[in-house]
Amino acid sequence: MLSLDRTTAIAVKEFKQLVRDRITFAMIVMIPLVQLLLFGYAINTDVRQVPAGYVDDSGSSVGAALIQDIAASQVVQWRARYASIEQAEQAITRGEVAAVLYLPPDLTRRLADRQFNPDGNEPTQQRPLGHWITDGSDPMLSAAVKGLRQFPVQLKGPPMLVPAPVSFELVSYFNPEGRTAVNIVPGLVAVILTMTMILFTSAAIVREREQGNMEFLINTPVRPLELMLGKIVPYMLVGFIQMGIILGLGHLLFSVPLPANVLALLVTTLLFVLASLTLGLLISTRAQSQLQAMQMTVFVLLPSILLSGFMFPFEAMPKPAQWIAEILPATHYVRLSKAVILRGASWPDLVPDMAALLVFFVLGLLIATMRFKKRLD
């Protein structure tokens, strides 16, 4: 027969145990708090301040005024002025800007040709005023710039001239069709590797304690650094296998392009796998049980998915959220994977994010090694 007293006693015991488990109790409070802050503050689907550059070959006051008016719209943020289209294209490939506006030398003439005649008839010649070149590897950024195709421009002249709707041609590089899969698949590699690599190693030290193997490790001549390296080496191969599966199926099912520079992809993936495994080791040296290790893994995984640029544009996030994202390995690998797979970036373009992953790996390994002590307490 069901006893209310026995059930209550067990419930009280579980509640007391939960309160004593500070990490689990903190996760109960922190996980909903972090999600609320991320979705309410950091995540913004209204893309503004897209990093952009321009090439103004018109050399006219109309072109200068047009550039100022576009900046005032706050859709884009001018980062640089380029001397030629070639320089602008290279900047997009390097990831410096996501869009470039080109104004031709005959801008003033083109704008004059687009004015309505006094009798109300439209002119027969309707050449575009200029061109927007966007990085199509992120469809949300391209969609934001696409809204500037119909941008009002006023030409100073006789009062009888009424401005006609102004249009710019839009050219999308790396993903002309604007397919979401092209953007999702490279980022999915980062998310899956983050989840699996951290999960595998976050319970590495804890599992040794729970299975009673810590006594054997204490009595061996294995040093802490050797133990840490030995824990992550087997999972490096697992990371490469997962990357191959995702990219291979992405190419077969969704026609996502394969990288031309395979070596760059392998090197960047290796650095990211090492950084993620090291992050798991840091969790493992802090967690007291495998349940705590899984909870702390989820706590790291959520910001990695939401702030890395995988689901939402990095440029649309407020500055504090971007600062937090910069300390996450997933953020750097999302940039690297898109640069290598979609844009065909060269080695110098990859150095900043590769260096960040390398620093994270070295520091994380050192901290995990110092935190691990060969004793049962």
The ranges assigned to domains in the chain are 50-173, 179-371
Domain 50-173 classification at class level:
alpha beta
Q: Whose CA is closest to 268, among 172, 154, 345, 377?
A: 345
**3-state secondary structure string across 305-326:** HHHCCCCCCHHHCCHHHHHHHH
- Mean pLDDT calculated for residue range 145-149: 87
| 99: β partners | 52, 134
Do the beta carbons of residue 53 and residue 93 sit within 8 Å? no
Whether residue 315 contacts residue 49, with contact meaning beta carbons closer than 8 Å, is answered with yes
* 48-57 pLDDT per residue, tens: 889 999 999 9
What angle do the packed helices 329-338 and 262-286 form, to 10 degrees?
170
Q: What is the C-alpha to C-alpha distance for residues 68 and 103, in angstroms, rounded to an integer?
A: 13
The contacts of residue 159 (CB under 8 Å, 6+ apart) are none
pLDDT, average across residues 211-225: 71
Q: Write the pLDDT tens digit of every residue in 86-143.
A: 999 999 999 899 999 999 998 888 877 766 544 445 554 567 889 999 998 888 888 8
Q: Which residue has the higher pLDDT, 85 or 204?
A: 85
What 3-state DSSP class applies to 171? strand
Rounded Cα–Cα distance for residues 264 and 2 (Å): 64
d(CA 272, CA 278): 10
- Between residues 374 and 300, which one has the greater pLDDT? 300
Does the pLDDT of residue 297 top 60, yes or no? yes
Which of 169-183, 237-251, 339-353, 354-368 has the least mean pLDDT? 169-183
What pTM was computed for the model? 0.82
